[in-house]
Structure 1
Amino acid sequence: MASSDSKVVFITGANQGLGLAIIEVAGLRYPENVYILGSRDVGKGEEAVQQLREKGVKARVDVVQLEVTNDEHITAAVDYVAKTYGRLDVLVNNAGMLRGVGVREDDPAAIRATYASLFDVHVTSVAVLTLMFKPLLYRAPAPLVVNVTSGLASVARLLDPARRMFRVPPYGASKVGLNGLTAHLQVGENDRAADDAAHPEAPSLGPRIRFFISNPGVLSTSFTRFHPLGKTPQLGAESAVRLIGDAEAKYDDYIQWEFEGGEMRKVPW
């Protein structure tokens, strides 16, 4: 069991890139926490833990096999957290995939497969994982869910003629879907908490879960094919890490946040 002074933090897609950087930055800043590194390949996850140790991370880091589209993996991950820690304080839905660049527009099967795979990872799997972890989140004193989005999911910025953004409709649309899912989950949770407050005599599921959206910006990682103008993964991790450590509840929930110019900023929908 984790102590009451620490947080149990589960990060998906965390054996490389942004997910690994989130554990690195958070682990150095909040070494009292427990970090659970979700990785499709356990061996690669263990290699990632060794990299964290070499960078000075002393916090406890567990490796759990997790392919977010695999329901058996999800069930096993929830069971592991339940038996090992009895609660989950923070869930970071970071796992993602980049497809849709150059997809043929005259091939309906390819178009359908591209959109289906992206929405499965970025929307459906996030919903499944979050709902399956809900009972453990309710056991935490101040539960958080941080969903990692993309700048392409800001419709306001996309439609701004002064901005020139990448054109990857399948990927961008799936991240818009993720943002919408986050808002719906938060509103539903707000309604539940309000109902609890109106009926204090009835048993409560637990404290209100706060949902956040983290926009890391364009990064220089394998995910973006090491874009020459991208941020380091550690700098991209900053918005998620600051949300993880938001003990004072100074950040509004179900809002998109980014870390730019040395400060946290809201991203328009």
Structure 2
Amino acid sequence: MIALVSGANSGIGYAVATKLAQEFKYHVVIGSRNESKGKQALQELQGTVSPELLSYVQLDVTDDVSISKAIDTIRQTHGRLDVLINNAGIDINSDQSTSPRQRYLDSFNTNTVGPAILTDACIPLLEKSTNPRIVFVSSSLGSLQLAANGQLPRSVPAYEASKAALSMIMLHYAARYPHFRINACNPGWVRTKLTKFSGMGDASDGANIVCKLATVDENEPTGLFVAETGSVPW
């Protein structure tokens, strides 16, 4: 199985890449915007799993040229893709160096538009798989129901809105490609750079639900938003 993980140089993406290669013996393509960090992650992981189970592509989900080159590399090397994990994401609500407008634009560009464009680019390769799967790594902070019920802090509006929109993107693809298994997940509040290393667990805990969805068979449901504990309210 060939899996592409965006934002795989650190955090949950790195933990997902590790788990898929070590436990499931998937060939994992590490997608990283920063080339040096991506190659460093590749080198570190090659010390824990068979080198043939890992490769690297430079992948910036906000750059169409970068996406195109990454997909061309995967096509030439593997000829297909079995799993796409849209993991790359940012939270810049606390960045006061940019205007509110720019913070919203940047959040949506990376967290919503980027995954959609990358998914579109991957569809032809996924169509060549006997069991294509797509996972959108989201957050319960994007739940409209939880927000309406007052169960969310509402302190990071750009991030929350971008993740709410990501749910609609996921549902679009699940309806358009019913022979794929396409789902979104909430990995939970775990210790990563995105959460400023606060949280109830580490990145490997958050990777569990991602890998579960990445390895489902063709008879499993599609179009779900789930966490380790079950369904996440829309």
Instruction: Give me the TM-score of the superposition, normalised by structure 2.
Output: 0.93
| SS of 2:61 mapped into structure 1 | coil
String of CA shifts for 1:103-130, please: whole Å, max 9, x gaps.
59xxxx8121111111111111111111
| SS of 2:228 mapped into structure 1 | strand
Which residue is equivalent to 1:127? 116
Q: Distance in 2 between matches of 1:259 and 1:25?
A: 16
String of CA shifts for 1:81-104, please: whole Å, max 9, x gaps.
111111110000000011113759
Q: Distance in 2 between matches of 1:119 and 1:57?
A: 35
Identity of aligned residues (%): 31
**Which AA in structure 2 matches 1:216?**
P
Residue 221 of structure 1, aligned match among 189, 192, 198 = 192
Would you say how many aligned residue pairs link Structure 1 and Structure 2? 233
Give the aligned CA root-mean-square deviation in angstroms.
1.8
Residue 169 of structure 2, aligned match among 176, 181, 185 = 181
Give yes or no for the alignment of 1:57 onto 2:45: no
Q: Are the equivalent residues in 1 in contact too, given 2:33–2:59 (CA < 8 A)?
A: yes
Give yes or no for the alignment of 1:259 onto 2:224: no
Give yes or no for the alignment of 1:245 onto 2:215: yes
Q: Distance in 2 between matches of 1:17 and 1:10?
A: 15
Give yes or no for the alignment of 1:43 onto 2:13: no
CA change 1:209–1:164 in 2 (3 A) is closer
- 1:85-104 to structure 2, matched below 5 A, reads 85-101=78-94
- 1:125-164 to structure 2, matched below 5 A, reads 125-161=114-150, 163-164=151-152
Instruction: Give me the TM-score of the superposition, normalised by structure 1.
Output: 0.82
Shift of 1:49: 2.0
String of CA shifts for 1:191-244, please: whole Å, max 9, x gaps.
xxxxxxxxxxxxxxxxx22211011111111111111x3320000000010111
Q: Distance in 2 between matches of 1:118 and 1:23?
A: 24
Which residue is equivalent to 1:3? none
- 1:204-219 to structure 2, matched below 5 A, reads 208-219=179-190
Q: Are the equivalent residues in 1 in contact too, given 2:141–2:163 (CA < 8 A)?
A: yes
CA change 1:18–1:27 in 2 (3 A) is same
Shift of 1:43: 2.1
**Which AA in structure 2 matches 1:75?**
S
Q: Distance in 2 between matches of 1:164 and 1:42?
A: 36
Which residue is equivalent to 2:15? 21
Q: Are the equivalent residues in 1 in contact too, given 2:147–2:154 (CA < 8 A)?
A: no
Q: Distance in 2 between matches of 1:52 and 1:8?
A: 16
